[in-house]
Each structure stands twice: as C-alpha cells, then as structure tokens.
Amino acid sequence: MEKKDRKNSLLVGGLIGTAGMFIAKMIGLLYSIPLSSILGSDMLMSYYGTAYRVYSYILNVFTAGIPFAICTMVAKYTALDDNRSLLKIRKLSRTLLALFGFFGMLLLMALSYPLAKNVCGSDDPGIMIMVFLLLSLALFFVPILSAYRGFWQGRKEMVEYAISQSFEQIFRVGFLLSTAYVLVYTLNMDRTYALYAAVLSTSVAAIAGIVQIVYFDKKHLKPIRSDAKNQTFRSVKNRELARELLILAGPYLLTSMIGYIDDILNSTLLPIGLRMHGYSSGDNSVILSAFNYVGTKLCSIPQILSPGFAAALIPYITEAVTNNDRKKISSMMTECIGIVFFIGAFMSAIIAIYSKDIFTVLFYTSDLELASSVTRWMAIEAFFGTICPIVSSLMLAAGLKKSVLRRHFVTAAIKLITIIPLTYVLGFRGAIISSALGYIYFYVGNMIELEIRYDIYFRKLIANFLKIAVSLIVAFGVSLGLRIIGLDGSQGTKLVAFVKLCGNGLVTMVVYFGLTELLKVPHALFHRSLISVITSKLKRS
C-alpha cells in the first residue's frame, strides 16, 4: 500500500470507527435531556448516574474481553471450517457469560446497602438501594446478549451486529422515556418511580435484544448445524476451548479492572470526600449529579475518539511491529496521537467554555453556578480520558503489555490514595486533580518508553500541541468577547439561550479550525488542508 493510501486508510478507518460510537453516544446524550426534566431533581439524577457508573464497572469486570475473545475464536474456527467447534463455542460462551453475569448480579445485590449508605450519608438510602437492586438484573441479561453478538461478529455478520446494538438502544430509550412520562405526567406518581423505570429499562431492552438476536440466530445457524453433521474430523475439546477463551480475555479483564477504576472510585469515595469538605446534602446532590450524570455524558463524547482510531490503528501497528519497521511505527503513532489531540482538545475545551450554557439550555439543576463549575472542571478528565486510552492502545499494539499494565496499577493507586485527601482540602476540584495526577503519570511514562523504543517524534508532537493550545486560547478569547456583546447562551429563555449558544459556538469553532489551518496543523497531521479532508469525505459520501 502506498504511504498516502495507508495514511488515508488510517484516517478514514478511524473516523468510520468513531462515527458509529458517536451516534450511540449522541442517542445516550439526547435521551438524558428529557429524562433530566422528568426526574426534576439533582438527588434523583445523582442516584441514576452513580448507579450506572457502579453497574458499568462491575459489568466490565465480569465480561471484559470475553465478547472479543468469542469473536476471535469464531473467526479462527470458521477459517478452519470446524463447525462442530463453532457450536461448542456458541454454547460455551453463553453459559460462561450467563454464569459471570449471575455472579455480577449477586455482587451488586450484596453491595447495594453499603454502597447506597455510602452515597446517601445521613439521608435515607432506601431509594438508592432499590435503584441498585433493579439495575443488578441487567448484569445477568446484558452479558448473554454480548455472547450472541460476539459469535455473529466473529462470523462477520456486521449488519446484524449493528442492528442488534441499535435495536437495544432505541428500545431502551423508547421504554425509558415513555414509561417515565406516563408515570409522572399521566398517573401523577412520584418522580422516584420514573427513576426506577429508567434503571429497569436496561434489563427490559437487553431482554428485547436477546429476543431479536435469537430470531436471527435460529435462522442463520442452520447451515452451521448442517455442515457440523457432515464434518469428518474431530472438534476441539470443551476444556481446551474454555482455556483458549479465558487466555484471550485475560489481558482485557485486567486492563478493564484497573483502567475503569475511576468509575467506582468517583461513585464510592467522592461522596466521602465531599462530606468531609463540608458541603451540604443539597450541594452533594448537585455535585454528584454533575459528576455522574451530565458530566459523564458530555465527557464521553470526545472520549469516543480513542476506540475508533485504536481499532483502525492496531492492524497497521501490528504489521509494522512484525516487520520491525521502526520508522513506520513512529510515524503512525505520532500522527494518531496528534489527530486525537487535535480534535479531543477542542471538544474538551467546548465542554469547559459552554458548561453553563449547556445546563441552561439542556439539563435540570437547582444550582446553575455549582453544576456548571463541576462540569467545567470535568473537561480536564474528558481530555485526559481521550488521549490516554489511545496511548494505552499504542503500547498494547507495540507489544508493551507489561509496562502499560504496571502503569495502569500505579495510576489507579494514585487516584485511590489522593481522592479523599484532595477532595477534603479542595472540594470537588480535588477529585479532578486526583485523576489528572494519575493521567499525567500514565501519559508521560508511556510516551517516554515509546520514544525510547520507537523514536517517537517528540519535537513534532510538542510543536503541534503548542499550536493547538494557542488556537484554543484565541478561540476562548473570541467566545468571551461574544458573551460581552450579548451572545451569551446562559441568558434568556431556553430558546433564546439555545440560539445564542449556537451562534457563539459556531464562531468559536470557525476561529479554532481557521487558526489551526493557518498554523498548518492539519497539514502536519492529515498531510493536506482541513478543507480538502472535508471535501474528500463529502465526495466519498
């Protein structure tokens, strides 16, 4: 492949991989806006967000890497035309993930009271306990759905894979919003029941997703069963298949346990630090709502860049590492980090600049200043949460698994040790600084090792970073100037504020991308102007 074609493939692959995740995240962000209005309470929103962060962490711990391992093994045995082993993998994967999901469900049920008591403090934990109990049901059904998806993904049935994900998400949002609306506005029930419907929607949607994919499974499994009956050679033993599955999933399990520890620490230790700092119960609800509900939703938008580009990058890096092509490795790593930094820094800055406007236009809060201040600080986490995973993926692709895993452990230890003391002294800002300290250690340590091993172009990266920083500062100044003359998205009715927000944001975006174009940043990353990149994508479409 020519150098230009390879770079274009990397860029296009990264953007395509990001696009699907971006759509899913946007659906998640959009439904959270009316749900925020229906719940109408910082406390209920904080309960919802906190519960989902705990749920997500337990789900990652009990299922991380297994769907990927299923996909890999199915692809392997499909290539070997071993249909009997495929049927064994199908049964084994469902049994294993159902078992893991069952234990995850029991774990969350067992932890529901101490976790709820920790989150609520002196307040009645009854509502929070019920939220955890209802959400724990999803830990059984979601892994089973993942087993089916992993199998058909390995069979390259990507259309069904995409349909399954979309169907589940749309069904969940439809059930969640319609049920919550009817309970609150038609039946005039307490808003707490809308919260219960919201968390229950995950299990309901997973069951609906299982029904949908089982229908597909029965229809498309017939050829495999038929070929298995005619197979003349023996299949692999169940024990060997189980061992292979667990070995493939192992590294991802360890990485997930440590890499996603922020979720569980912010859910369990942050409330303790906030109470020690002296915040009132009401302020705690506002802060936790902004942290675990709105902030998490907004921060996830720039963070989808990393998985998309990592998925596109890994095959190229693996090939280059296999061929020991150090120059190619260095070039691709430099460009990939630069592209993620270029887009991720801007999107994170947008969260910081327009946090107050976003709350005014989209989300409920009883304390606009406090909630927007929390979200503004969370933009720091959004940025590091975007750039560090791509560095982690580069380390794994380059075969440096032990180093990256060791730094994940140290990063988690830094967060664990510092979150309560720093929150006690600095308030909610301390929790962000705690995360930032770990992220900085992780980023700098991995970058130094990559530079030593593969001669990463540090000067080129730093030069681009400085140009991007200057462009962001100028764009921020322009945004501030527009506010002074009246284009302030935090003022007026929701409609007026929305128009002002769009106007201010559009001008700020044009200034940022125009200035980076003037400073030749897109040329350094994409090897052409930003305008030509956009027009090329439009022509392809």
Q: How many distinct structural domains can be found in the chain?
A: 1
CB distance 411 to 439 below 8 Å: yes
Q: CA torsion angle for 341, 342, 347, 348 (degrees, to 10)?
A: 40
Q: What angle do helix axes 305-322 and 296-303 make, rounded to 10 degrees? A: 30
Query: Hey, is 269 helix, strand or coil?
Result: coil
Per-residue exposure over 320-350, b if at least 16 CB sit within 10 Å of its own CB, e if not: bbeeeeeebbbbbbbbbbbbbbbbbbbbbbb
Question: What pLDDT is attached to residue 298?
Answer: 85
In terms of DSSP H, where are the helices of 40-82?
42-63, 66-79
Which of these, 39, 67, 49, lies nearest to 195 by C-alpha position? 39
Residue 190 belongs to some domain of the structure: yes
Residue type, 464: N
Secondary structure letter of residue 528 according to DSSP: S
Residue 17 belongs to some domain of the structure: no
Residue type, 478: V
Q: CA torsion angle for 139, 145, 151, 153 (degrees, to 10)?
A: -110
Consecutive 10-residue averages of pLDDT for the chain (541 residues): 45 48 65 87 90 88 77 82 89 91 94 90 88 95 90 78 82 92 94 95 94 90 88 86 83 72 83 92 90 84 65 60 73 80 90 91 88 93 86 77 86 93 95 94 90 75 89 94 89 87 93 91 75 58 49
Residue 86 belongs to some domain of the structure: yes
* CA atoms of 377 and 379, how far apart (whole Å): 5
Question: What pLDDT is attached to residue 534?
Answer: 58
CB distance 58 to 202 below 8 Å: no
- Number of helices (H), then strands (E), belonging to the chain: the values are 24, 0
Question: What pLDDT is attached to residue 319?
Answer: 63
Question: What pLDDT is attached to residue 318?
Answer: 59
Question: What pLDDT is attached to residue 8?
Answer: 46
Residue 486 belongs to some domain of the structure: no
Which of these, 64, 120, 115, lies nearest to 257 by C-alpha position? 64
Residue 365 belongs to some domain of the structure: no
Residue 159 belongs to some domain of the structure: yes
Residue 394 belongs to some domain of the structure: no
Query: Hey, is 157 helix, strand or coil?
Result: coil
Question: What pLDDT is attached to residue 9?
Answer: 46
* CA atoms of 278 and 240, how far apart (whole Å): 56
Which of these, 303, 313, 309, lies nearest to 262 by C-alpha position? 303
Structure tokens at 416: 């664990």
Q: Which domain holds residue 174?
A: 40-254
Is residue 75 left, alpha or beta, with left meaning phi > 0 and alpha meaning psi from -120 to 50? alpha
| Tokens 């197979």 found at | 231
Question: What pLDDT is attached to residue 482?
Answer: 92
CA distances from 144 to 67, 78, 141, 189, 388 (A): 10, 21, 5, 33, 30
Query: Hey, is 232 helix, strand or coil?
Result: coil
In terms of DSSP H, where are the helices of 137-190?
138-154, 158-181
pTM: 0.77
Question: What pLDDT is attached to residue 99?
Answer: 93
Structure tokens at 74: 């199915």
Question: What pLDDT is attached to residue 1?
Answer: 42
Residue 100 belongs to some domain of the structure: yes
